[in-house]
Amino acid sequence: MKKLLFSLCLFAITLSFAFAQTTTKDTVKPAPAPVSPLSTPGMAGPLTINPEPLKVGSIYISGVASGLAQFQNSVYPGDKPAQSDVSNGQVFIQKVDGVFQFFLQVGTYSLPDLGAPYFRSTIAPAGFFGTFPQGFIKLAPTKNFSIEVGKLPTLIGAEYTFSFENMNIQRGLLWNQENAVNRGVQLNYTAGPVTLAVSYNDGLYSNNYNWLWGSLAWTINGANTLAVIGGGSTSRTSISTFVTPLYLNNEQIYNLIYTHTAGQWTIQPYLQYTSVPASPVYNTTQEATTFGAALLASYAVPNSGFSIPFRLEYINSTGSAAGGAPSLIYGPGSNAWSATVTPTYQYKRFFARAELSYVKANNITNGFGLGPNGTDDTQSRALLEVGFLF
């Protein structure tokens, strides 16, 4: 599985470069869909943000309301084989022009996450980022440079935090190594097709400001973008909470993400590497690393409102329990792969989507695996999510 998915990612990247070289200004394109003035929250598609949000003076007001039903086996303690919940009940208030701008996100949410317990909307805000999960002020003295300060969406990874933002309802195995929301400051600069961003922040929401990372995105043309992202903890800390996993908060993490759009297809292969050094601060005597590869893609059925996103992933970790390595997946030295498909329908602001997912873990350590006792090595889920983007 590892070799196959790595080969698929490299093939997709190579194919994308070929498209990048052959795409010309003379290419015939369909009439563009209406474009929203809003870029936050980020949307990976196929769901699209409201192109005509409510505007009061210079302030835009938008939001999402959605619910889901989930069915699963290998149920974690405190979870349920079948359940329904509010997946999103959020309002976004923002100003997107001028020197002074801002973004406010308020409301409730759940966190459906592949191969992990489901965190309901009644407990997720209190356990994670509160009912004000993201919000920042933005100073943009020029069109090419800006500074953001507050609770920021992460630069890391190819998937966003909330279900409506992503191709799939659940976030993936690689997302489990990444942070989601951080408090800090971010500098952004654009020079032609290149966008640079640097952030100093509190990593996995630790309230300890010792993380530094950078992002470089190159827009090759209208169809192809390449992004390189890297960074991590600059010092060792012993902070360990529900929202701040001890080992991940001390990691270094690197991404290579390629995004290609052509006609009805969006194809996004990405590679991920993480490293957690050995340290007496958190009682480990052996370094552990992960290597992950993922292929995210979506096909939009012409003139129908239907699309078919899917995701394939593989992630492997190094180290051993005997050697004193931390567990980064399902025990030291474990690996896992996943497959997810999410048929989606959107009509104006209404959307409905179903999802089937499968996770297979290998070399698990008992107590760190899937299921009620941490000894299962597979998990299957079926989900249905329905909602409005207003």
Name the nearest CA neighbour of 339 among 355, 322, 362: 355
- Indicate the helix (H) or strand (E) that contains 8: helix 2-22
Q: Which amino acid is at 132?
A: F
Contact 317, 332 (CB under 8 A): yes
CA-to-CA separations, 292 to 171, 193, 315, in angstroms, rounded: 14, 28, 4
Please give the structure tokens belonging to residue 136. Answer: 């920042």
Q: Which amino acid is at 234?
A: T
Examine residue 191 and state whether it is found in any structural domain, yes or no.
Answer: yes
Contact 74, 378 (CB under 8 A): yes
Examine residue 326 and state whether it is found in any structural domain, yes or no.
Answer: yes
Contact 71, 61 (CB under 8 A): no
Rounded to whole angstroms, the Cα distance separating 140 from 246 reads 35
Examine residue 26 and state whether it is found in any structural domain, yes or no.
Answer: no
Digit-by-digit pLDDT tens for the chain (390 residues) are: 555 455 545 544 544 444 444 443 333 444 455 678 988 999 999 999 999 999 999 999 999 999 999 999 999 999 999 999 999 999 999 999 999 999 999 999 999 999 999 999 999 999 999 999 999 999 999 999 999 999 999 999 999 999 999 999 999 999 999 999 999 999 999 999 999 999 999 999 999 999 999 999 999 999 999 999 999 999 999 999 999 999 999 999 999 999 999 999 999 999 999 999 999 999 999 999 999 999 999 999 999 999 999 999 999 999 999 999 999 999 999 999 999 999 999 999 999 999 999 999 999 999 999 999 999 999 999 999 999 999
- Indicate the helix (H) or strand (E) that contains 3: helix 2-22
Q: Which amino acid is at 245?
A: P
- Which pLDDT value is given to residue 388? 97
Name the nearest CA neighbour of 207 among 175, 177, 243: 243
Q: How many CB atoms lie within 10 A of CB 267?
A: 20
> What is the CATH classification number for the domain harbouring 268?
2.40.160.10
Examine residue 325 and state whether it is found in any structural domain, yes or no.
Answer: yes
Query: What 3-state DSSP class applies to 136?
Result: strand
Examine residue 32 and state whether it is found in any structural domain, yes or no.
Answer: no
Contact 382, 354 (CB under 8 A): yes
CA-to-CA separations, 331 to 106, 262, 321, 338, 370, in angstroms, rounded: 36, 40, 8, 17, 11
Strands 306-317 and 288-300 come out as antiparallel
Number of domains in the chain: 1
Domain that holds residue 140: 2-12+44-389
Examine residue 33 and state whether it is found in any structural domain, yes or no.
Answer: no
Q: How many CB atoms lie within 10 A of CB 117?
A: 13
Rounded to whole angstroms, the Cα distance separating 382 from 72 reads 6
Rounded to whole angstroms, the Cα distance separating 283 from 236 reads 12
Q: How many CB atoms lie within 10 A of CB 266?
A: 21
Query: What 3-state DSSP class applies to 382?
Result: strand
Examine residue 23 and state whether it is found in any structural domain, yes or no.
Answer: no
Contact 273, 256 (CB under 8 A): no
Q: How many CB atoms lie within 10 A of CB 18?
A: 12
Examine residue 77 and state whether it is found in any structural domain, yes or no.
Answer: yes
